[in-house]
């Protein structure tokens, strides 16, 4: 696991350099989710695959930017799914973006998840790695220095409601509005990594990307985004559900499957469960 942690660190340093130096033009290609790829998306995908291919314990990788998984070492035991540069379209307005990694043992799948990690590229470069606990690291002088363990409060103050509001179910809008009526602050940039990083570091709250009329299975990808953050939130004493079920109990069929997702402190997640259960009665 330590060699994977170091490979992710090496990738992050190279990605930071690519963000700072590479042009951010669009390629002529689309990823499996039908999103036009930035040249930078492709570059970051290559960087991560190169760094992970040096580790013989990595059997297979799956990237959000590739249709199919790639076998690296038949004798390896880890299966790593990653989103090389989540929210990359925010770079041209100079907002924070991130890379997300899910580390699975034996095969891809929530029940096989053994660790997860994200790197946030903002005013500073920070990494959060969850194995037994959720730990924050800061890039300083070319090294990632351990900063602290992250623990969410039972109840937070931030509300990050994703998705197009006109496509929300009425009961989802009522739930979101009820938090604002309690004095929660709106914190939503459209970048999953910085939006969740803020909730983790500011003590808690709720990030939601629900089922909507235009995306009934949600938008965010299980293997690359949803399961890694679910693991991170649970190791930080928070919770992560699909509105009813624990996200890390979900199955997947295709490596690009999506799921509605709610990440947060215990109080907020209980409110989601109650609100959705009442609506479905
Ligand atoms: P919306 C970025 O494109 C992304 O995949 C996540 O980083 C982010 O949370 C979400 O989509 C934003 O989606 O529909 O709210 O703009």
164-177: pLDDT as tens digits: 999 999 999 999 99
197 and 235 inside one domain:
yes
Residues 93, 166 share a domain: no
The predicted model scores a pTM of 0.95
Per DSSP, 184 falls in state P
- Alpha-carbon span 112 to 110, nearest angstrom: 5
pLDDT for res 22? 72
Per-residue pLDDT, 273: 98
Q: Is any atom of ligand 1 closer than 6 Å to the C-beta of 190?
A: yes
Look at strands 239-241 and 205-209 and give their pairing: unpaired
143 and 169 together in one domain: no
Same domain, 34 and 54: yes
Q: Is 210 in the pocket of ligand 1 (CB under 6 A)?
A: no
What does the pLDDT read at residue 174?
Answer: 98
Q: Residue 219 C-alpha to ligand 1 middle, in angstroms?
A: 8
pLDDT at 215: 96
Residues 142 and 13 in one domain: yes
Asked whether 98 lines ligand 1 (CB < 6 A), one says no
| Domain match, 106 and 215 both | no
Give the per-residue pLDDT at 23: 66
- Report phi then psi at 168, rounded to 5: -75, 150
Domain boundary among 149, 174, 195: 149
> How many domains, the chain?
2
CB-based contacts of 34: which residues, under 8 Å, 6+ apart?
none
Question: Can you give the residue range of the structural domain that contains 21?
Answer: 2-149
Q: What parts of the chain have a pLDDT lower than 50? A: none
Beta strands 261-264 and 239-241: pairing type? antiparallel
Instruction: Count how many Cα atoms sit within 13 Å of the Cα of residue 250 in the half-sphere of its side chain.
Output: 26
Strand partners, 136: 128, 148
Please report, for the domain that includes residue 248, its CATH number.
Answer: 3.40.190.80
């Amino acid at each position: 696991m330590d060699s994977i942690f170091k490979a992710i660190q090496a990738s992050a340093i190279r990605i930071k350099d690519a963000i700072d130096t590479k042009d951010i033009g669009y390629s002529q290609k689309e990823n499996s989710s039908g999103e036009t790829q930035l040249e930078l998306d492709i570059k970051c995908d290559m960087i991560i695959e190169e760094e992970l291919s040096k580790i013989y314990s990595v059997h297979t990788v799956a990237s959000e930017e590739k249709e199919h998984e790639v076998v690296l070492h038949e004798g390896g035991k880890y299966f790593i799914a990653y989103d090389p540069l989540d929210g990359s379209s925010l770079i041209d307005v100079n907002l924070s973006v991130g890379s997300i990694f899910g580390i699975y043992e034996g095969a891809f799948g929530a029940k096989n998840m053994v660790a997860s990690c994200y790197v946030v590229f903002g005013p500073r470069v920070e990494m959060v790695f969850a194995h037994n606990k959720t730990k924050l690291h800061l890039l300083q002088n070319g090294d990632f220095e351990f900063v602290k363990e992250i623990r969410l409060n039972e109840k937070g103050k931030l509300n990050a409601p994703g998705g197009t509001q006109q496509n929300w179910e009425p009961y989802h809008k009522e739930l979101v509005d009820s938090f604002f009526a309690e004095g929660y602050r709106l914190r939503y940039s459209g970048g999953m990594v910085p939006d969740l990083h803020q909730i983790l570091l500011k003590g808690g709250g709720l990030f939601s990307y629900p089922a909507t009329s235009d995306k009934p299975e949600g938008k965010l990808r299980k293997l690359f985004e949803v399961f890694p953050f679910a693991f991170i939130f649970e190791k930080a004493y928070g919770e992560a559900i699909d509105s009813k079920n624990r996200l890390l109990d979900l199955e997947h069929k295709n490596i690009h499957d999506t799921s509605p997702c709610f990440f947060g402190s215990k109080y907020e997640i209980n409110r989601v469960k109650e609100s959705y259960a009442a609506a479905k009665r």
